[in-house]
Amino acid sequence: MSQFRPNIARQSLRDKVVLVTGGANGIGASLVEYCCENGAYVCFGDTGIAAGEQLSKRLCESDSSSSHPRAIFLRTDVTDYQSLLYLFDAALKAYGCIDHVVAAAGIMEIGNCFDPALDLKTVREAPTTKVLDVNLVGSIYVSRIASVYLRQSRPANTDRSITLFSSLAGFKESPGLFIYQTSKHGILGLMRALRLYLSNSPVHNIRVNVVCPWMTATGMADGVCEGWVKAGLPLNTPLDVAKVTAGLLVDSSLNGKAMYVEGGRAWEIEGNLDRLEPQWLGEEPSRSLAKGQAVLGQGMDWAK
């Protein structure tokens, strides 16, 4: 498996319009700042109002020469479809187009859905769906809206992309993170469902990729990072992950890829899944599967 080395020349992001959800803190904030520093215009949303407004103000003050604000922040709840539409509308109104969309909003596990203390009485109360709503449903909402807004005021051959955020938990077990892990598996499923559908469509022509960070020094990892470092394990900084994400935005050859990010380095995992399929699935079922996938790819529309 070859290492992915982002090649981000300043001109590759210059004057691009990037929309980011979850952009006020952590990886999202680092991505917003990194894109702006490399000449992009960024419209970003988050529920963290104070942090978002402060970041937007600082980025605009650092570049007052532009005719457009370098960064725009709106309070955005990714579980609220209308709230997301306001964010996309703001970007389109301010900049006239959107080139790339990044769904970086996410939260960690809430409580223990399979608490051993549950009994016949307490199990009758339904668990919260907030983690699924933010991590997975929010990403579906963002992707759906992006599939339309990325097409506005842009020629069909213009490079456009959607980048989603999964995790190591999207493809490896994470005991105790029951709903979080389910949501992150779902992100990979969403990318796989969209990568050919959107990129091969003459109407859409949109690339879709996924970032899968391992342990990253953000607020979501509070209480874990110190022991992690003491154990000699690799730790990402938010900027590490932001640079990999930006690399996906600027490389028009990348579609349907999943980048595993560990200690500031990244590896693409989808290619090896395909290449090694005859080994882990078996040669005979792999051949049969390939034939079936070819049939499914011949213009079948399951929505009808």
Residues annotated catalytic, as ranges: 166, 180, 184
For residues 154 and 160, the answer to whether their CB atoms sit within 8 Å is yes
Closest by CA to 100, choosing from 31, 169, 189, 192, is: 31
Q: Residue 26 is inside which H or E element, if any? A: helix 26-37
Q: What residue type is 278 in one-letter code?
A: P
- Closest Cα to residue 163, out of 98, 85, 95? 98
Measured CA to CA, the distance from residue 131 to residue 201 in angstroms comes to 31
Which one, of 237, 247, 103, 108, lies nearest residue 165 by Cα? 103
E strands, the chain, are 3-4, 17-21, 41-46, 71-75, 100-103, 161-165, 207-213, 258-262, 265-268
Which residues are 258's β-sheet partners? 210
